[in-house]
Amino acid sequence: QVLLVESGGGLVQAGGSLNLSCTASGLHFSVYSMGWFRQTPGKEREGVSCTAPSGMSAHYSSAADGRFTITRDNAKNTVYLQMNSLKPEDTAIYYCAANLAGGWNTCRRDGFEFWGQGTQVTVSS
């Protein structure tokens, strides 16, 4: 059974930083694309950043590019999302996702099979 558990969300002021973590179990982590997605009420879940199994390549949304950094530690079965210069519009539930057959280069919701339960990020103005 694949299990993805996110942590690190919380309340932060605009301009601040958060580092999200997602630890996976039940899969061979180092061969999976991993991604971070976010969703707000009434909106589609959108890709924020995704990384290749090796961690050597990544995709960023335009909203995340230059402010967020995705990394992974295959020895710890964990993927991270370092979020800097946070804005109120970054407020959302952030989800971790995994997929065996690629998907990192397009970072689309329909390209990922396994999902975590999400962690709330709230950025106050």
Q: Give per-residue pLDDT as tens, 7-33.
A: 999 999 999 999 999 999 999 999 999
| Rounded CA separation 103/113 (Å) | 10
Beta bridge partners of 68: 83
* 81: Cα within 13 Å, side-chain hemisphere: 34
pLDDT value of position 101: 76
